Amino acid sequence: MIELVLMLATPAAGATVLAFGRWRRHAPELNAVFSFATFLAASALTVRVIGQGPQLLIGEQFYIDPFNVFLVALTAFVGLTTALFSRPYMRIEIAHGRITAARLRLYHSMYQLFMLTMLAALTTNNMGLLWVSLEAATLSTVLLVTLYRTPRSLEAGWKYFILCGVGIAQALFGTILLYFAAERALGAEGVTALLWTHLDGVKSQLEPAVLALAFVFLLVGYGTKAGLVPLHSWLADAHAEGPTPISAVLSGLLLNVALYAIVRCKVLVEGSLHSALPSRMLMGFGIASVALASVLLWRQRDIKRLFAYSSIEHMGLATFAFGMGGAVATFAALLHMTVHSLTKSAIFFATGHAAQKAGSQRMEDIRGLVTLSPTVGWGLMLGTLAILGLPPFGVFASEFLILTTAMREQPWAIPILLAALGLAFAAIFGRVQSMVFGETNMRRLPHAPALLPVFAHLALVLLLGLYVPPYLAGWYEAAARLIGGH
Amino acid sequence: MTDPLLPSAAIHVAIDRQLLDACAALQLLIAFAMLAQRRIVSLVNLLAAQGAVLAAATLLLAWRTGQGHLYVSGVLTLALKVAFLPWLLHRLIDRLEVRFDAEPALNVSGNLLAGLLVVVFAFGLAQPITHLASTAMRNAIGIALGVVLLAFLMMITRRKAISQVIGFLSMENGLFFGAMSATYGMPMVVELGVALDVLVAMLVLGVFFFQIREQFDSLDLHHLESLGERR
């Protein structure tokens, strides 16, 4: 319990200190220190769950089981590495005159707040608080997307706020319906009626008609946050116009948390409905996302928009796998969430420095990265190869599992998936190749970039492609049993 | 329709129920009025009125069912949605000097017609829940969903940033009304959390409006249409 409290209290304290403290000069370091403390607490919590199994904490309000424990560890880890990356990155942005030192205070404070909301969303056992945390995650990042105050960033921020606000309002209606069904099944239990563990216990008695309706609203609501087609239109703008560390955590973490919320709801609804409706809906949204994103990839000229669309594609793939259900597909979906998060944030780290060197995010302005700084260039190249699903990286393993399961269970999807993956490969690889190799005209950066996070992430992804540690595999399997259904 | 209360209280009960139904009807009426309203200052006033009806219904329901947390929720609604948010919005539109601005190009009759269809759809959608509910206000569930969808429609058809935000807040009102009709409100901790989110959202938006204004000299959202796939 102490680990959980520390894990949530550290970012809360960090947000306060960084907002009101007087250490402006060392704020980037302080941000990293708080993220490191959060990561330590999350690791301690993880060790506790490995040793003692699922934990129900603080009056049952928090629940950590195999499904969310690895997401907690992943979130805290990427939060730490992003803070390390952001340290030189934001200093360079100041040196380039894109933001002022004063605005950095807002940035750091909101960054910590964002970590808090995501960790709270992952660990809470209360479906209502899950909603509150996810909405708070949007609110804490809106002003980060508009950090540069350019017309484009304001538009992106507005779109992000309104679309996610409306989307998440649908999820609130879904949560109300869930509560309504729960009250009927659990009796007048009031506060406990929204606790996931209680709902899970009585899911077969929940009214199917209400839950089916609730799931539609929940899926649309949280699906907007997860960037599922056709609710994705905020995603690319928010990723492209905000500072790169924020693109990395939006893509690597927020989308995961939203998908996590959908899957938690799916477990309840499937237990009540005993029909394939939730699965079919997930598969439908998933495959639509994969297909449309891979087509839209071809039209992108901005490097961050390119990888934002790739995130939509990968979230779609994971959603499709959750929809297929069954132990193997769910295992693959969880692995895919993990490796996508690590790879995509690594790519955004490299992309951020590349764009700083070129002074532009337009891909045609970025040329010959390898000549000027081999680490950024190779980081981007290796990250791209990993995200495109080349062996021996982890994305290959998860995509391979998803495709082989689909071949057995949903053969109709195979042509669409293969075509989409092929299209995405051609679109991304061609562009990245011309950015990485060739002549260069780019400038040097005033601060040395931190590329350790890029290679740390890629090493982990490589490791996960070659060998999944037994306890991690154990969690994935336990979580797959929990959510696999059928 | 059996009533849990004693026959001697039946007349009171009938009046209570009629009052609650009247609140529901008013909610819907206000939602339609918002849909047809061009002027921003009137929209803010309508939003405050909607909040007031919501608070009245909550307090009435609290008194009738004796559920303590509904009193808290009612007072919270009163403080946040009737007093604070309208005050904040009035202040904002004064400082941004958009008080007497109106929506250009708003097709009122088309909007109202679409609104009518939306409400019919909402009633159809709420039918299964209405049948299962056991609360005194179960008939209002369809209305609440109607208010949510009308607010959604309003957000789609508006061009001004402030009008869209008012639509967003109106949607939140509809959701709370729905929660109250179906289950006598959400658990306290959730309601507090949602209220906090709405509050923070408004503060963030306040900052945001000034940023938009500084950049474009206007709160008209057609300035914000440069993004998209064109790049």
pLDDT, one tens digit per residue, over A106-125 is 999 999 999 999 999 999 99
Q: For position B228, what pLDDT does the model report?
A: 42
The confidence score (pLDDT) of residue B195 equals: 86
Interface list for A 150-169 with B (CB within 8 A): 150-152, 154-159, 161-162, 165-166, 169
Smallest Cα distance from B22 to chain A, Å:
23
Question: Among A82-91, A380-389, B99-108, B192-201, where is mean pLDDT lowest?
Answer: B99-108
Mean pLDDT of B96-103: 78
Average pLDDT for residues A81-89, to the nearest whole number? 93
Angle, helices B10-36 vs B161-183, to 10°: value is 160
Q: Give the nearest partner residue to A180 out of B129, B188, B207, using CB atoms.
A: B129
Q: Tell me, what's the pLDDT at A189?
A: 61
Residue A230 counted as domain residue = no
CB of A365 less than 8 A from some CB of B: no
> Which amino acid is it at B215?
Q
Q: Which of A97, A450, A118 is nearest to A256 (CA)?
A: A118
The predicted-structure confidence for A177-196, as pLDDT tens digits, reads as follows 998 888 888 776 666 788 88
pLDDT at B223: 62
In this prediction, residue A183 carries a pLDDT of 83
pLDDT band per the 50, 70, 90 thresholds, residue A274? confident
**Cα–Cα distance, A291 to A143 (Å, whole number):** 31
Q: What percent of chain A has pLDDT over 90?
A: 55
Judged against a pLDDT cut of 80, whether residue B133 lies above it is answered with no
**pLDDT reading at B10 higher than 60:** no
**pTM, to two decimals:** 0.92
Domain membership flag for residue A9: no
Q: CA of A379 to nearest chain B CA: how many angstroms apart?
A: 26
Q: Is residue A388 part of a domain?
A: yes
Confidence band, pLDDT 50/70/90 cuts, at residue B207 = confident
Mean pLDDT of B162-183: 89
Mean pLDDT of the A93-108 span: 88
> Which range, of A51-65, A88-102, A422-436, B4-18, averages the lowest pLDDT?
B4-18
- Structural domain of A446: 276-486
In-domain check, residue A196: no
Model pLDDT for residues A44-56, shown as the tens digit of each residue: 999 888 888 888 8
Backbone angles phi, psi at B226, to 5 degrees: -80, -25
**What residue of A is the nearest CA neighbor of B225?**
A155
pLDDT, position A205: 86
Whether A11 shows a pLDDT value over 50: the answer reads yes
Residue A471 domain flag: yes
Q: What is residue B20's predicted lDDT score, i.e. its pLDDT?
A: 85
In a domain, A305, yes or no: yes
Interface test with chain B among A62, A129, A154, A176, by most B beta carbons within 10 Å:
A176
- pLDDT score recorded for residue B224: 60
**Does residue B182 surpass a pLDDT of 90?**
no
> What CA–CA distance (Å, rounded) separates A181 from A201?
13
The pLDDT of residue B1 is above 50: no
Q: What is the pLDDT of residue A403?
A: 95
Distance CA A189, CA A315 (A): 36
Beta bridge partners of A57: A62
Q: Which residue has the higher pLDDT, A36 or A20?
A: A36
Examine the pLDDT at B95 and tell me if it is beyond 80: yes
Q: What is the pLDDT of residues B77-93, one digit of tens each?
A: 999 999 999 999 998 88
Q: Model ipTM?
A: 0.86
pLDDT of A78 above 90? yes
Instruction: Indicate the SS3 state at residue A412.
Output: coil
Q: How many CA atoms lie within 13 A of A204 on its CB side?
A: 2
User: How many cross-chain Cβ pairs, A to B, lie less than 8 Å apart?
Assistant: 138
Give the mean model confidence (pLDDT) for residues B110-129: 89
Assign A318 a pLDDT band (cuts: 50, 70, 90): very high
- 8 Å CB contact of B132 and A128: no
A139 CB near a chain B CB, below 8 Å?
yes
The helix (run of H) or strand (run of E) holding residue A63 is strand A62-64
Confidence of residue B229 (pLDDT cuts 50, 70, 90): very low
pLDDT of B3 strictly over 80: no
More confident residue, B66 or A294: A294
Q: Touching check for A135 and chain B: CB below 8 Å?
A: yes
Interval A438-457: pLDDT, tens: 777 777 788 888 788 889 99
A472 lies in some domain:
yes
Residue A41: the pLDDT is 95
Whether the CB-CB separation of B206 and B87 falls below 8 Å is answered with no
Return the higher-pLDDT residue of B179 and B105: B179
Which tens digit of pLDDT belongs to each residue from A195-223?
Answer: 888 888 888 888 888 899 999 999 999 99
The region of weakest confidence among A125-129, A465-469, B222-226 is B222-226
Span of A46-50, A311-315, A471-475 with lowest mean pLDDT? A471-475
Look at residue A113 in the predicted model and tell me its pLDDT: 94
Q: Are A444 and A372 in contact (CB under 8 A)?
A: yes
Mean pLDDT computed over every residue of chain B:
83
Question: Higher pLDDT residue, A369 or B105?
Answer: A369
**Count of domains observed in chain A:** 1
Q: Which of A131-145, A463-477, B74-88, B208-222 has the lowest mean pLDDT?
A: B208-222
B186/A194 touch (CB, cutoff 8 Å), yes or no: yes
Q: What is the DSSP string of chain B?
A: ---SS-GGGHHHHHHHHHHHHHHHHHHHHHHHHHHH--BHHHHHHHHHHHHHHHHHHHHHHHHHH--HHHHHHHHHHIIIIIIIHHHHHHHHHHHTT-TT-B-SS--HHHHHHHHHHHHHHHHHHHHHHHHH--STTTTHHHHHHHHHHHHHHHHHH--BHHHHHHHHHHHHHHHHHHHHHHHSS--HHHHHHHHHHHHHHHHHHHHHHHHHHHHHSS-BGGGG---STT-
Rounded (5°) CA angle A256-A258-A263:
90
Closest to B190 (Cβ–Cβ): which among A132, A183, A299?
A132
Residue in chain A nearest B163 by alpha carbon: A162
Could you give the percent of chain B with pLDDT greater than 70?
87
Q: What is the pLDDT of residue B75?
A: 92
Question: Which tokens in the block code for residue A247?
Answer: 């693109």
Query: In terms of CA atoms, which chain A residue is nearest residue B149?
Result: A170
Whether residue A293 is contained in a domain is answered as: yes
